[in-house]
């Protein structure tokens, strides 16, 4: 018998830029078009006896990527959320060079170890005939499947790699830095537009974050760079390092939990592996013609202050980019570039009030980073570098214009107070809850 809870569930949601909205659990009533699609339950108010699942797909062109831009603004800036969608009729993908670094340290034992091994096996088996790959298991030491990337063409080397992975049960510390440096020094394949990726599967329990980030900075300056992505399992204490490594490395950071009371980790891994599926375009950039642009992570822009890195576009997944530009009188116009020119362009929508959540979405990356820096006890030079990368001027943020403290404890207290004030002000600016608001 079903127990009537005494209340009902209704749905009234407006999707902007959605090409289609469906539900596997409830019949829907739809109104509007791709610009603004309103979705309600066809039955109206219903007994809440199941989850309500909505599936939406973005507007997609048939043979080229699609760019949609949503904005809001304050007195000084226009904040934007850009959506890059792959072509709807994707039949051809580009070759990949996939280097996987798998954490086999002691902290990965149990469900994390099993799930991580399964994820790597699945990733290897999904390689196409045009791809090449290599695999490294790291803990106290590093062990490589091969001294150079191997072809996945006939599947034999992939099968050998999977068998090799299953046979390795040794464990130790977490020497990620050495594994990453070795991966970045592997021979690089020759191809017209390869997607070069290093994927790190880890819980990020490392202590040499500074040197690891320097490796990412050095790699980002190469024309034939390998993008560095991180799949983190139970990495909450080191989430900043994972996010920063992915931001500097031009990749993606994905976080999962192995808690049994949460979603099954294997199911979650299967969903997120599409993040690194074979791409249809590589090295995409978001450009504001004749203007300036700023990423939420204060990320690298090279010599072009009007471009943000989007990265590779997988065949079955969209890419989101959040940022801001100086507020102007004209409607914001953006272009999506690859190595050959403009592949898509779009003007910003006029729904600035309805999109007010974009501003805190921009700010949350910076506020999270400031919370980490407030307790990280970085040395002065490293702290200044991090603040500058986030878009802050260390000379105006940190204590200046006074006699240098004789005691390190005094200097540390002054720096902590300055970071506390900056964190408070930024959290209030973006309307976010933090440890100091």
- Secondary structure (3-state) at 196: strand
Architecture of domain 96-276: 3-Layer(aba) Sandwich (3.40)
Q: What does the pLDDT average to over 4-12?
A: 92
The domain spans of the chain are: 12-58, 66-90+282-347, 96-276, 358-430
Higher pLDDT, 264 or 400: 400
Q: Which DSSP category does 103 fall into?
A: E
Structure confidence at residue 237 (pLDDT) = 63
Say if residues 183 and 136 touch (Cβ distance below 8 Å). Answer: yes
Residue 299: pLDDT band with limits 50, 70, 90: low
Residue 303: pLDDT band with limits 50, 70, 90: very low
Q: What does the pLDDT average to over 412-426?
A: 93
Query: Element (H or E) spanning 283, and its range?
Result: strand 279-287
* CATH tag, 66-90+282-347: 2.60.40
Phi and psi at residue 335, to the nearest 5°: -130, 150
- β-sheet bridge partners, residue 80: 71, 323
Structure confidence at residue 164 (pLDDT) = 97
Q: Which contacts of 422-428 are long-range, i.e. CB under 8 A and separated by 24 or more positions?
A: 422/370, 422/392, 422/397, 423/367, 423/370, 423/371, 423/374, 426/363, 426/366, 426/367, 426/370, 427/363, 427/367
Separation of alpha carbons 177 and 324, rounded Å? 33
Higher pLDDT, 336 or 110: 336
- Mean of pLDDT over the chain: 88
pLDDT tens digit sequence for 168-202: 998 988 899 999 999 999 998 876 668 999 999 99
Q: What does the pLDDT average to over 313-330?
A: 89
Separation of alpha carbons 10 and 40, rounded Å? 8
pLDDT at 304 over 60: no
- Where in 8-145 does DSSP place strands (E)? 12-15, 18-22, 28-32, 37-41, 55-58, 66-73, 77-85, 96-103, 132-138, 142-144
Q: What is the DSSP string of 114-161?
A: HHHHHHHHHHHHT--TT-EEEEEEESSSEEES-SS-EE-SSSHHHHHH
pLDDT at 111 over 60: yes
Q: What does the pLDDT average to over 67-92?
A: 90
- β-sheet bridge partners, residue 197: 98, 227
Say if residues 216 and 245 touch (Cβ distance below 8 Å). Answer: yes
Q: What does the pLDDT average to over 375-381?
A: 84
pLDDT at 152 over 50: yes
Higher pLDDT, 93 or 10: 10
- Where in 139-236 does DSSP place strands (E)? 142-144, 150-151, 195-202, 227-233
Q: Which two tokens stand for residue 73?
A: 């603004």
pLDDT at 338 over 50: yes
Query: Element (H or E) spanning 236, and its range?
Result: none
Do the domains 66-90+282-347 and 96-276 sit in the same CATH topology, yes or no? no
Higher pLDDT, 349 or 234: 234
Say if residues 117 and 267 touch (Cβ distance below 8 Å). Answer: no
pLDDT tens digit sequence for 400-409: 755 567 788 8
Query: What percentage of the chain exceeds 90 in pLDDT?
Result: 52
């Amino acid at each position: 018998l079903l127990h009537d809870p005494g209340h009902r569930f209704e749905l009234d949601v407006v999707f902007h830029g959605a090409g289609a909205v469906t539900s596997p659990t409830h019949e829907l009533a739809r109104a509007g078009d791709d610009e603004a699609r309103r979705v309600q339950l066809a039955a109206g108010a219903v007994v809440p006896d199941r989850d309500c699942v909505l599936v939406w797909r973005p507007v997609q062109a048939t043979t080229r990527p699609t760019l949609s831009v949503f904005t809001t603004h304050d007195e000084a800036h226009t904040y934007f959320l850009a959506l890059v969608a792959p072509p709807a009729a994707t039949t051809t993908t580009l070759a990949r060079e996939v280097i996987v670094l798998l954490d086999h340290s002691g902290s990965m034992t149990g469900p994390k170890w099993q799930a991580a091994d399964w994820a790597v096996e699945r990733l290897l088996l999904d390689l196409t005939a045009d791809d090449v790959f290599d695999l490294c298991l790291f803990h106290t030491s590093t062990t490589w499947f091969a001294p150079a990337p191997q072809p996945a063409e006939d599947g034999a080397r992939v099968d050998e790699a999977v068998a090799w992975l299953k046979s390795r049960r040794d464990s130790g510390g977490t020497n990620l830095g050495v594994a990453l440096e070795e991966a970045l020094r592997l021979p690089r394949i020759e191809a017209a537009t390869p997607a070069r990726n290093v994927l790190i599967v880890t819980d990020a329990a490392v202590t040499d974050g500074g040197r690891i980030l320097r490796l990412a900075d050095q790699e980002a300056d190469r024309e034939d760079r390998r993008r560095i992505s991180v799949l983190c399992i139970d990495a909450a204490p080191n989430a900043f390092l994972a996010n920063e490594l992915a931001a500097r490395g031009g990749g993606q950071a994905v976080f999962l939990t192995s808690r049994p009371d949460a979603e099954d980790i294997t199911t979650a891994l299967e969903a997120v592996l599409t993040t690194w599926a074979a791409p249809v375009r590589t090295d995409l950039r978001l450009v504001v013609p004749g203007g300036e642009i700023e990423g939420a992570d204060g990320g690298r822009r090279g010599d072009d202050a009007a471009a943000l890195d989007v990265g590779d576009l997988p065949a079955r997944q969209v890419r989101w980019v959040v940022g801001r530009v100086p507020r102007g009188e004209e409607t914001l116009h953006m272009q999506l570039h690859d190595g050959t020119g403009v592949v898509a362009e779009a003007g910003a929508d006029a729904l600035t009030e309805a999109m007010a959540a974009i501003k805190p979405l921009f700010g949350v990356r910076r506020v999270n980073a400031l919370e980490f820096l407030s307790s990280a006890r970085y040395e002065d030079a490293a702290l200044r570098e991090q603040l500058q990368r986030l878009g802050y001027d260390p000379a105006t943020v940190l204590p200046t214009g006074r006699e240098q403290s004789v005691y390190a404890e005094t200097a540390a207290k002054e720096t902590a107070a300055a970071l506390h004030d900056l964190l408070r002000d930024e959290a209030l600016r973006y309307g976010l809850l933090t440890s100091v608001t």
